[in-house]
Chains A and B, each alone.
Chain A
Amino acid sequence: MSIPEELKYTPDHEWVRTETDGTATVGITDFAQSELGDIVFIDINTVGQTIAQGEIFGSVEAVKTVSDLFIPLTAEIVEVNQAVNDSPELVNDDPYGKGWMVKIKLADPAQMDALLSAGAYKELIGH
């Protein structure tokens, strides 16, 4: 189970990476994609909206199940990954790379520190 050291995590099995341009990128973890199974549809239609921490910004549909996507921190959704819209399997194949979901603009970038470290997330999922 891959859990890159440099990323931040949430208990909802999402990862967050701060980018140099001040945005952050959000995706789901390797553990999450493996629990969901084959992902067939990423349903996100909240671009341009500001969403409060913990609220739903979209859904990820696997063959067997559907799961809500929760915004890790209060932020505006600035971009959806068009590649996963066309090829949802990218989330299974490369959850931390080509399978990213959204780019967000954080209301308060300092809140990043409150997210889980790789070590804390690893402990959470019991690996």
Chain B
Amino acid sequence: MTEELQSVPLEAVHQRLGAKMVPFAGFLMPVRYSSDIEEHNTVRQGVGVFDVSHMGEFVLRGPKALELIQRVSANDASVLFDGKIQYSYLPNADGGVVDDLLVYRLNQEEYYLVVNASNIEKDWNWICAHNTDGVEMENISAELCLLAVQGPQATQTLQKLTDIDLSAMDYYTFCRGTMAGIDDVIISATGYTGAGGFEIYVGSHHAEQMWNVIFEAGADFGIKPIGLGARDTLRLEMGYCLYGNDIDDTTSPLEAGLGWVTKFSKEFVNSEALKIQKAAGPARKLVAFEMIDRGIPRGHYDLCAADGALIGSVTSGTQSPVLGKGIGLGYVPTLYSKAGTEIFVKVRDRLLKAVVVKLPFVKPTV
């Protein structure tokens, strides 16, 4: 890709803080401010702030908005109520996944879809192509700054900035209100870390003001900026899928373990084929595994049986900062997918022993 990198509103702030900036999904993003492990532990034990403004946000409005969402996404958005959020995905017509996303219901006729940065254009075009009933669509990605304030001390930090009772908010709900004197902020009890906390959507022109007040509010708790490096290790300890690694246009959502957000009580893109696949049982599954031998699994490494036969490949892997050992996700034939099964990861021509485990790797605190 040779196209120019896009900037997030807080780019200068990250640079001032000494962040290492890297291209990610077409944006120049902070991957690390000090140390991946320190940042990871800050979120697990205290509170940290991620700038995830690269994420995309679409508004869908009108009497047919829900119908369109029901058609393009696999989860059942009809169960949503005002202020409720749902994890879902967009299946494609060929058995794969266009993207995974969050669906926010603002009211009966207005929804936000929050999508991966790398897929903004693809998702937009995909949903537009299915919008045959004149649903009003708006891409507000560039107008919003998204700050994820995560960790056990996130609630106490943010409570200083708003009258909304944050501790009363259930996981996967949101409020629209005033925070630090800024109106029309969306406070969302979501995150990608398993450490608890909120995601704050604020107009880009208020981004720096919001960033600064959050850091003032969290100073007593040792609040720190957190890069995308720690975001990845935090999400992997929970076993959350990352689009582009664990799921993509070619992976079956059922094999990826997204059956729980696949609702056959309604019709949606490719639902008939997925129903047949579900009935037959998936041929392979995305499994979580921990290293027994010392070594670190990485994306695209081979997964093997004890005799060295190739059985699959790693989609995500890292050293877990909390567990102090290698952890990973990868696809293997269903036969090898049961927890306790020994599998082997091929690391630089050596077969290192690992064991299939149940997720999450680390107990979440939400």
Partners in one complex: yes
Q: Determine how close the nearest CB of chain B comes to the CB of A57; give it in whole angstroms.
A: 12
The interface size of chain B toward A, counting residues with CB under 8 Å, comes to: 19
29 A–B contacts, CB within 8 A, in A order: A35-B20, A37-B32, A37-B35, A37-B36, A38-B35, A38-B36, A38-B37, A38-B38, A40-B37, A40-B319, A41-B294, A41-B295, A43-B348, A61-B296, A61-B319, A62-B36, A63-B36, A63-B37, A63-B40, A63-B229, A63-B318, A63-B321, A64-B31, A64-B229, A64-B232, A64-B233, A64-B318, A66-B298, A92-B35
In the bound complex, CA of A35 to CA of B229 (Å): 12
With A61-B296, A64-B36 given, is the CB distance from A41 to B348 under 8 Å? no
B: residues with CB less than 8 A from A are: 20, 31-32, 35-38, 40, 229, 232-233, 294-296, 298, 318-319, 321, 348
Which residues from A are CB-within-8-Å of B298?
66
Q: Determine how close the nearest CB of chain B comes to the CB of A59; give it in whole angstroms.
A: 6
Which residues from B are CB-within-8-Å of A61?
296, 319
10 new A-B pairs (CB below 8 Å) besides A61-B319, A64-B233?
A37-B32, A37-B35, A37-B36, A40-B319, A43-B295, A62-B36, A63-B36, A64-B31, A64-B232, A66-B296
Q: Determine how close the nearest CB of chain B comes to the CB of A105; give it in whole angstroms.
A: 24
Q: Chain B: which residue is nearest A65 at the CB level?
A: B298
Q: How large is the interface on A (under 10, 10 to 19, 20 to 34, 35 or more residues)?
A: 10 to 19
With A63-B36, A63-B321 given, is the CB distance from A40 to B229 under 8 Å? no
Which residues from A are CB-within-8-Å of B232?
64
Which residues from A are CB-within-8-Å of B31?
64
Cβ B296 vs Cβ A41 within 8 A: yes
In the bound complex, CA of A73 to CA of B298 (Å): 29
Cβ B295 vs Cβ A63 within 8 A: no
Q: Chain B: which residue is nearest A58 at the CB level?
A: B348
Which residues from B are CB-within-8-Å of A38?
35-38
Which residues from A are CB-within-8-Å of B233?
63-64
